[in-house]
Structure 1
Amino acid sequence: MTNDELLDAVGPAFSKLRRTSLLEVENPISTKDLSRTLVLNIVLEHTQGDGKEVTVGAVAEVLGVDPSVASRMVTDNIKAGYLIRAASQEDGRRTVLRLSPEGRELMTRFRRHQRSAFEYITADWSEHDRLEFARLMLKYVDSLAHLNERAQVGDTKGA
């Protein structure tokens, strides 16, 4: 495969990843809970350290969905017992989201499940290839997180 063919194949490969659910390898996660982890992961990631707070609006922004869609997703997590609404410590008029103990337990199970699926899928890879792929995937995701910063730097160069 040429370099161009390899790079052209990346997009379709990502599409296949999105269509493929994680394998039921250890402590299977229900399809419903799998979709709930989208919201729980945002709350978990954005509330770590420094007393950061997450609102429904922030969930909508990160997921790139309408606030009403995010509100329904958050409400579903609350009804399932995974999220708690709380008053903001910064502004008592604002409502923020926190993981409940059940939400934390689900995310712990989900992380174990993800690792088990990765190890199962890559079982016939060398240890070097498995770790290199993991390192590059993390680098890729980190680059995604910094796209806005790069775009803003590019905007200021043209001004």
Structure 2
Amino acid sequence: MTPDDRTPDELLDAIGPAFGKLKRGVLQEVENPISTKDSTRAMVLGVVLGCPAVAQEQPGQVGESGEMTVGGIAAAMCVDPSVASRMVTDSIKAGYLRRVPSQLDGRRAVLELSSEGLEFMARFRKQQRAAFEYITAEWSETDRLDFARLMLRYVDAIDDLKNRKPTAEA
């Protein structure tokens, strides 16, 4: 059965399992594959790059200025602080991330991308696009762009959940 053959209820019921099948592994199926270790590094660096959004979501973990800490990484990635610390240390050893003194509190260390980290993320973003184009190679351009718009809208809605008022239960 194709998605086009499903009823609206069947489509909506299939979304959860479909998200469960999404894998970063597809980045290993394209030309110049990204390793699993680099995929993990990209997740950490992506959190640091997206820091202002995380600052709004995790006020106890990230300073108002958008400074990212290991605790902020742990909160954003929903992992234990010790796991986040190991991932940050790995990215630092790889030369992609560095600890610097906070501009708000010099006693505190915050994270920022190095120039190598910025270059790595540019390469990773190109790889992500190549994977998307590879996966959707048989789709029409209209379908690709519609899916991209809807996916971005979906992710924006996730980011906006914190602003949504709870609905009154009857």
Give the TM-score taking structure 2 as reference length: 0.83
Q: Is the 8 A contact 2:26 2:131 kept in 1?
A: no
* Distance in 2 (alpha carbons) for counterparts of 1:61 and 1:31: 21
DSSP-derived class of the 1:123 partner: coil
Unaligned runs of 5+ in 1: none
The CA deviation string for residues 56-111 of structure 1, in whole angstroms up to 9 with x for no partner, is 11111101111111111111111111100000011101100000111111100100
**Number of equivalences:** 154
**Is residue 81 of structure 1 aligned with residue 86 of structure 2?**
no
* Distance in 1 (alpha carbons) for counterparts of 2:136 and 2:14: 19
- What one-letter code is carried by the residue in structure 2 that aligns with 1:16? K
DSSP-derived class of the 2:27 partner: coil
Unaligned runs of 5+ in 2: 1-5, 54-63
* Distance in 2 (alpha carbons) for counterparts of 1:149 and 1:51: 20
Q: Is the 8 A contact 1:43 1:97 kept in 2?
A: yes
Counterpart of 1:98 (choices 101, 109, 112) is 112
Matches within 5 A, 1:1-159: 1-18=6-23, 20-46=25-51, 52-150=66-164, 153-154=165-166
Instruction: Quote how far apart the aligned CAs of 1:47 are.
Output: 5.7
* Distance in 2 (alpha carbons) for counterparts of 1:128 and 1:83: 38
* Distance in 1 (alpha carbons) for counterparts of 2:92 and 2:160: 30
Instruction: Quote how far apart the aligned CAs of 1:146 are.
Output: 1.5
Q: Is the 8 A contact 1:42 1:62 kept in 2?
A: yes
Q: Which has the higher contact order (CA 8 A, sep 6+)?
A: 1
Instruction: Quote how far apart the aligned CAs of 1:148 are.
Output: 2.0
CA 1:25–1:18: 2 relative to 1, 3 Å: closer
* Distance in 2 (alpha carbons) for counterparts of 1:6 and 1:72: 39
Q: Cα RMSD (Å) of the superposition?
A: 2.0
* Distance in 2 (alpha carbons) for counterparts of 1:21 and 1:121: 8
DSSP-derived class of the 2:166 partner: helix
Give the TM-score taking structure 1 as reference length: 0.89
CA 1:143–1:45: 2 relative to 1, 3 Å: same
Q: Percent same amino acid among aligned pairs?
A: 63
The CA deviation string for residues 115-147 of structure 1, in whole angstroms up to 9 with x for no partner, is 011111111111111000000000001111111
